[in-house]
Structures are given as C-alpha cells and as structure tokens.
Chain A
Amino acid sequence: VDNDVFPVDAKAIKAAFARTPSCATIAELDRLCNADHAGGVDARVALHVAGCLRCRTELALLKHFEAATPHPEDEPWLAERVARDLPAVLHRAAAPAAPAPTRADPRRRRLRTIGAGLAVACAALVVVLNVREAQPPPLATDVGRGSAVFRSREVTLLGPAGDLGEPPRELRWEPVPGATTYAIRVMEVDRDELWSGESREEAARLPPAVRARMVPGKSLLWQVIATDAAGKVIATSEVGRFRVTAPAQQTP
C-alpha cells in the first residue's frame, strides 16, 4: 500500500480507536462474555459495544483468552512450566520483600535458569510441605496427628521409577543416617497394599510371586520408612511410582 495515496493519517486512525467514557469496563465486557453472570448485561453497554470497534475487539480478545488452548506441541512444555513456575510464584508471594522476576535478558538467562532451578526446587519443597501440612479451617481433617514426626526427614528413593521393560528385581533408596531398619511397601494406585517388607540395607529384593503380580501397563506406588534402633520413625519417603510396560518374565 502506498502511504502517499492513503487518505487518512495515523493520528486520525488512532483517534478512531481511542477509548471513550462510554466504552465498556472489563467487568461489563465480562458480563457480555458470560451470559450466566448474575449481574446481567446493561442494555446501554450492549448497545455501545455493538457499535464500538475498540470494545468489540476487547471482547474478542477476552473470548480468545478464555478459550485459549495450547498448541499440541506446546502441551508437554506447558505442563512442565506450570509444575516448575507455579511453586516459584507462590514462594515469592509468601515472601513479599523478594523482587519480582527480572525481565528477559538473553545474556543472563543461562545463569538465571540455573539459579531458578535451585530456587524452584526449594520452593517446590516448601509448597509440598505447605499443601500437605496446612489445614485451612473449613477443610480441617484429622491430618494433624503425627505429621510432624513423619516430615522430620526424607528418605530419597533411587528406583525403580517411570516405565520399565520388566518388573523390578529390587527397590533402592539412599541411606538415612541413624536408621537401622527400613519398612518398605508396594501399593496399587488406590493404595491397596501389594507387598510390604523390612530391610536393614538400602535395598529390598522383591519376591518372584510379587513380581509376577506386576501387570503390564498398571502403575504401582512404593514408599519407605526409616526407623532407628529404638524403633522410632526418623524419616519417610515421598511416594515413588513405576509401571511395567512389557509382560512379566519368569526369572530365577
């Protein structure tokens, strides 16, 4: 398009799109967008929006936002970022003095990514603890009993985890200082127990009969509790998850 022959100048176009006092507020656009809203739609507003390019465009954008669905190839990234970034946001929210995230600066991104990873790991732990232990008044249940003991320390699970080609032969975890015995439990996803046992080492062999019950495609959970010489629980693990994807084979 040749600008020299275009008959309207930029400022006149800008003025044509400028907001006016009659333009709908975001709440009014919301009511237009959402017919179920208790407030209903003001006829004056509806009339204005019908004739206003600015308001109609805002309404269209709001509808795009509400209906926003990610591109299929972005979905795994999106899920990963929600899991990673949301705890970081909440962590910052819990510490109002902390600065807001710095804006994109390509030169610093690498360093920041590493730092953010560490911060997110800490934040994720904080949120997990908060979600597990916080008891908002209307939702209070009997979760309080004994939780402080269980969360004193963690047993870090090493494996199995994720999809496996065959049923695991053993379960392994990191040693906990002061632990003399470990109680181990394998469960189905509804937490029905498949097997439980004890070990004095940082591993437990699974009996062939148990391995034979690990049906391909079915997720299983497992957890470890560490106890000291007096039989006192000193650490528990998070719940691990694995799944056998290939049929179980008989092994010696």
Chain B
Amino acid sequence: VPNSNGTATWAALDRLERARRERETRLQELTDNELIAHYLAATEGTQRSVWLHELFRRHYAKVLTWCMRFTGNRDDASDLAQATFARAQRHLATFRGDSRFSTWLYAVTRSECMSWLQARRGRPEAVEAETLEELPDAGEASPELALERAGTAKVVHALLDEALDDTEKQVFTLHYGDDLPLDVITRLLGLTNRSGAKGFIVRARRKLARAVAAWKARDQALDA
C-alpha cells in the first residue's frame, strides 16, 4: 500500500491527467481560425506549439495522403508533407481567414508538390519514369502566329469544353496545362481504369482532333 507521500503523488498525477484531458477537449472545440489567432498572439514558445500542434494534427493525415498520391512513394510523401507544414508555419501570419485554413493549406501543399516535381525533373533518373504525351510544337511565335494562337486557344478551349467529358477535361488540363505526369494525375484524381490518365488523354485527343476537323469544315463552309 502506498505511503502517504505516494497517495498524495498519485492524486497530483490524477489532477495533471484530468487537466491534460480537459485541455485537449477544449483545444478540440476550437476552430482552426481560433487556433491560428491564439498561435499568432502567443509569444512564448511552448504555448505557441500547443496551438500549432492541434492545428497541424487535424490536417496532417490529409496533406500526407495528398502527397502520397502526388509522389507515389512514402518517403517522398513524408518529406513533402514535412516541407509543406514547415512552409505553412513560416507563412501562417499571412493567412487572412478569407478561406478555410484547409483550403489555404491545399494551396501551400499544391505549390510544394509542384516545386518537388520541378526538382525531380532536373534529376536524370526521373525522366524515364515520367510519362509525357507530346503535342506538336510549332516553335517560337511570330506576332502573327501569336495572334493566331491566341484565337486558336479560345477555339480550343471551347472545343475541349464541348467535346470532352468532365474527367477528360481535368486530365487534359492537368497534363497539358500544368505539365503533370500521367501517373500523378491517375493517383490525384483516383482514376481506377486500367490505363489510368493515359487512356483519358488518348480518348480526349481523338475527340479533340475530330472536333477541330468538324470546326474547320464548318469554318470553310461559311467562308465559301
């Protein structure tokens, strides 16, 4: 049986534990924005880390899951999630609260992921792993060609919107607009078909080719 000192100590430990649980419960009741406000207002390091821990704890798994989809491997995903939260912490004072914190964090995550991709492209061993569906390149634009291209872009946008289904549009935009590799797109959009994003790209290009041909035929008919 514990002596009187031991009994007093157990009681004090129980008080500590109850207080810890209370603190956790109260932290969990706060909104993200309230946690950020407390974090920014706190001046002492240990106090600040309590708010930040709860804020980041809520979103860590989501960011890590996203990074896992983006990179396709656990080690890079883990590095990327850490870099994302380090950046989020550094720029937290710029969060104005005009969106949800998770949306702001998404923007940070996306930016980190794109930087990671850029860096990876600079490494020779990464080139073969990426699947890029090339489009014909007409080279640098003369002023006339640039003007024509701007007009063509509008037409292409309209034709894409008209001819493709939603998933094809998303795959097309991410691949040709953001230069995302097809395997990344497959994972980000959770595509479960056998060929993943590549299948959507091939189908979309065929549809677009047909749509452009039909548009040109209509255009020529109107000219005539």
Contact = CB atoms under 8 A, between A and B. Distances in A.
A53 B23 CA distance: 46
B169 A127 contact: no
Main secondary structure of the interface of B (DSSP, over half): helix
Contacts of A227: 5-6
Contacts of B86: 89, 92-93, 100-101
A131 to B, nearest CB: 6
A7 B209 contact: yes
Interface string A172-211: 0000000001010100000101001110000000000000
Contacts of A78: 61, 64-65, 68
A90 B52 contact: yes
A26 B176 CA distance: 21
B218 interface: no
A91 B193 CA distance: 42
B54 to A, nearest CB: 9
A64 B188 contact: yes
B50 A198 contact: no
A14 B82 contact: no
Contacts of A251: none
B141 to A, nearest CB: 7
Contacts of B44: 134
A8 B152 contact: yes
A247 B146 CA distance: 80
Given A27-B103, A65-B106, A133-B46, 16 more contacts: A1-B206, A8-B212, A17-B157, A17-B176, A62-B103, A68-B66, A78-B64, A79-B61, A89-B85, A90-B53, A100-B86, A103-B116, A185-B10, A198-B1, A223-B13, A232-B5
The 10 nearest A-B residue pairs measured at CB: A17-B177, A15-B153, A143-B19, A183-B6, A30-B99, A30-B103, A10-B135, A27-B99, A57-B173, A134-B46
Interface string A72-95: 001001110110011011101110
Interface of B: 1-3, 5-6, 9-10, 12-17, 19-20, 22-23, 26-27, 38, 42, 44-53, 56-57, 60-62, 64-66, 68-69, 74-76, 78-79, 81-83, 85-87, 89-90, 98-100, 102-104, 106-107, 109-110, 116, 119, 133-138, 141, 149-150, 152-154, 156-157, 160-161, 166, 169-170, 172-174, 176-178, 188-190, 202, 205-206, 208-209, 212-213, 216
A70 B68 CA distance: 9
Contact of B83 (A10, A13, A100): A100
B82 A198 contact: no
A66 B65 CA distance: 11
B15 A27 contact: no
A92 B81 CA distance: 14
Nearest to A62: B106
Interface in A33-68: 33-34, 37, 39, 51, 53-54, 56-57, 60-62, 64-66, 68
Contacts of B3: 181, 183, 198, 231
Q: How large is the interface on A (under 10, 10 to 19, 20 to 34, 35 or more residues)?
A: 35 or more
Contacts of A86: 53, 56-57, 60, 85
Contacts of B169: 53, 56-57
Nearest to B167: A60
Contacts of A198: 1-3, 6
Contacts of B149: 9, 11-12, 15
A236 B213 CA distance: 79
A143 B20 contact: yes
Contact of A104 (B49, B66, B79, B136): B79
Nearest to B169: A53
A236 B216 CA distance: 81
A146 B12 CA distance: 7
A150 B189 contact: no
A172 B182 CA distance: 55
Contacts of A135: 23, 47
B82 A89 contact: yes
A138 interface: yes
A7 B106 contact: no
